[in-house]
Structure 1
C-alpha cells in the first residue's frame, strides 16, 4: 500500500494541478499570455493611462501615490503627488495626444504635468466630483465627466470652465478626438453624446437601453464606441450616427453587466483593442467586427481571489505589439501569435 502524501507534497501537487487547469482554460478559450510584464505598483492601481504609442504611462497606485513611467526603458521617471512629502490618492489620469503633457486628478483637484521635465505646470480645484477625464492636444483643455449631471470643457492652462455639457444623469465616461475638436460623453441617462468643442453644442446623440459606461473616439474622430452596461457595445460613424455594428458579447457577461473597461482605435481605424474587467484583452478587425486575437492578463497570485481589471490599452509602433494596464499593478506587453509560414 503506497504511503500517504505529506502535507508539503499534497500542497505542491494541488498547486501544480491548479496551474495546469489554468493553462488548459486559457488554451481552451484561445487566450494568449503577455510576452512581458512590468510591476508599477506593489499592491494595485486606482487609475492608469498609456500614451498613444504604449511607450509612456501615468498611474495612480493604491498606497504609493502617482508616478510617470518610461516603458521602453522600464523605468519610473517621476513621482507625481499633489502635495509635497505626501502620497496623493490619484483616481484619474490622462495624456495629451502629443504625450508631452499629462493630467492627474484626486477627489478635489487636478494637476497638469510636463512629461519631459516632470514639472507640475498648473494646479486647479476640481469643478465637481470627477468621474472621468480626458486631456486635449498640447494640454490646452481638459474634458471632465462629473457627478452633477454635466461634463465640462475646462481651460486647464488659465483655469475656468469654457462650456458645460449637460446631461440628465452622471457622466461616467469622456473622450476627445486627437485634434481636440470633438468630444464624446457617456452618461447614466443611457446616452452617448458627440459635441463640438469650439461651441459646446451637441452634434449627435446615440440612445442606449442602460447606463453608458464607456465611450471612445477614433483619433481622427470619424468613429465612436459607446458601451452600455446591460445593453450593447456599439461602433458608429460620427458624421451621421450610422452603426457599423455591435461587438459580440457573451450572454452571461451581458446578463451580469460585465462589459468593456478600456478601448482604443488604431490610427487607421482598421482595428479596435478592448479590455474587460475579467482580465481579458481582445483585438478586433474593423469594420466587420471580427475578433482577431485575445490575451488573458495574469492575476498577482493565481491561487488567491482577486482579479486584474484592464484599465487601459494601447497599440505600439510595432505592428504586432500591444500594451495593457491591469488594476493589480502591472503593465503588460502583448504580442501577436506567429503566423504559419
Structure 2
C-alpha cells in the first residue's frame, strides 16, 4: 500500500495547510503533560507539571474544577481519560490514579498502581479503569469497589490505551512492536497487530470494528479488527509524527493531531485528507516550544484541538 503516499501528498496540498482556527484560548501557561476532551467535546481536561489537573468548559473556557491527588499538594498529572458517557474522568500521576465525577468534581476512587503508570482508559460508565504500566502490564481496576479484576500482558512497556465507546474492546500500544486488541470484559486477547517499530499511539472506533496504530517513521495504519487486516495506510511524510487521533462521524472519518501543530481531517472511505489546519504557535502565549496536538475531538459542527503549550483551538470544516 506504499502507493498511497503520492495521492495523500497531493490531497494535503489541495486541502490547504494555511487553514486557521476560528478562535484560540490560552488555558494554562506551561508545563502541560497530557490532555483529553470528553467524547462530546464539552469538557477539556489538562494534566500539568506542578499544577495538578483542571477541567474547563470547552466552549466558554470557564474553569470548572481543579484536581490534585492530595490535599494542599500539587500533583504532576501525567495521564487522563474520560468515560464515554462523559460522567467520569480519570487522572494519574506516576503511581496513583483517581476517578472523579465530572458533574460534581468530587473524587470517588483512589488507587495505587503496582508499577509506573504510562497510559489510562475508562469503560463507558466509568465503572472500570484500565491502567497501562512500564512493566508491560495492563490492570483492570474496579473503580467502584476497588481491586484488580484482571491483568493483561505485553512484552514491553505500554505506550497508549484506548477504549471503544461501547466498552467491548480495548486497544493497547507497546514498545514490543505490537498493538493488541482485548475483550475488555474478560481480558481475553482477540488480536495482535504487528508493527515495524514501537507503537506510540492507538485509537479504536466507537463500535470496536476499526483500529488505528502509529509508530515512529512508519505510516499510520487503519485496521479492520474482525477482518484481521490493515485496510488503509496513511503516509503523512517523513518528518510527520502522530500525537493524537479519534474516530468521528459514525467512524467514517478520523481527526489526526500531529506533533507539528497540524490537524488533519481524514475520510476513511475516500482514503484522502479532506482538510488540514495549521495551528498558530508564534503568539505571546507560547512561552515554550511545545508543538504537539495532544487531543482532538469533534463537538457539534466544530472541531477542537488542544496543544501541549496549553492552547485550545476551535475550528470549523
By relative contact order (CA 8 Å, sep 6+), the higher-ranking structure is: 2
Distance 1:95 1:125, change over 3 A: same
Contact 2:30 2:288 in 1 (8 A): no
User: How many residues end up aligned between the 2 structures?
Assistant: 304
CA spacing shift, 1:305–1:80, aligned 2, 3 Å: closer
Cα deviation for residue 194 of structure 1 reads: 0.5
Aligned partner (choices 98, 101, 121) of residue 108 of structure 2: 121
Query: SS of 1:103's equivalent?
Result: strand
Give 1:317's match in structure 2, choosing from 300, 303, 306.
Answer: 300
Answer yes or no: is 1:160 the counterpart of 2:147.
yes
Of 280, 291, 298, the residue aligned with 2:280 is: 298
User: Which of residues 142, 147, 151 is equivalent to 2:138?
Assistant: 151
**Structure 2 CA distance, aligned partners of 1:296 and 1:58?**
22
* Native 8 Å contact 1:298 1:308 kept in 2: no
Q: Which runs of 5+ in 1 are unaligned?
A: 1-25, 337-341
The alpha-carbon deviation at position 305 of structure 1 amounts to 6.7
Distance 2:157 2:138 in 1: 9
Residue 58 of structure 1: CA displacement?
1.1
Structure 1 runs, 4 residues or longer, greater than 3 Å off: 26-29, 300-305
SS in 1 for 2:125: helix
Partner of 1:195: 182
**C-alpha distance 232-42 of structure 1, shift in aligned 2 (>3 A):** same
Retained in 1: the 8 A contact 2:15–2:275? no
Deviation at 1:36, TM superposition (A): 1.2
Report the alpha carbon displacement of residue 325 of structure 1 after superposing the two structures with TM: 0.8
- Structure 2 contact 29–287 (Cα < 8 Å) conserved: no
- What TM-score, normalized by structure 2, do the two folds share? 0.91
8 Å CA contact 1:67–1:80 kept in 2: the answer is yes
RMSD: 1.9
> Could you report, residue by residue, the CA deviation over 1:207-236 in whole angstroms, capped at 9, with x for unpaired residues?
111101111101111110011112221001
Preserved contact between residue 274 and residue 283 of structure 1 (Cα < 8 Å): yes
Pick the aligned partner of 1:274 from 244, 256, 268. 256
Q: CA shift at 1:72, angstroms? A: 2.5
Structure 1 residues 75 and 178: CA distance shift in structure 2, 3 A: same
Q: Is the 8 A contact 1:263 1:273 kept in 2?
A: yes
TM-score normalized with structure 1 length:
0.85
Give the match for residue 17 of structure 1: none
Report the equivalent of 1:7.
none
Structure 2 residues without counterparts, runs of 5 or longer:
1-12
Q: Deviations over 1:166-200 (max 9, x none)?
A: 11111111111112111111111111111112221
**SS in structure 2 opposite 1:212?**
coil
Structure 2 Cα separation of the partners of residues 88 and 166 of structure 1: 28
71, 74, 77: which is aligned to 1:84?
Answer: 71
Query: How far apart in 2 are the matches of 1:66 and 1:197?
Result: 27
CA distance, structure 2, for counterparts of residue 198 and residue 118 of structure 1 = 27
Cα deviation, residue 289, structure 1: 2.2
For 1:284, the equivalent position in structure 2 comes to 266
Corresponding residue number in structure 2 for 1:326: 307
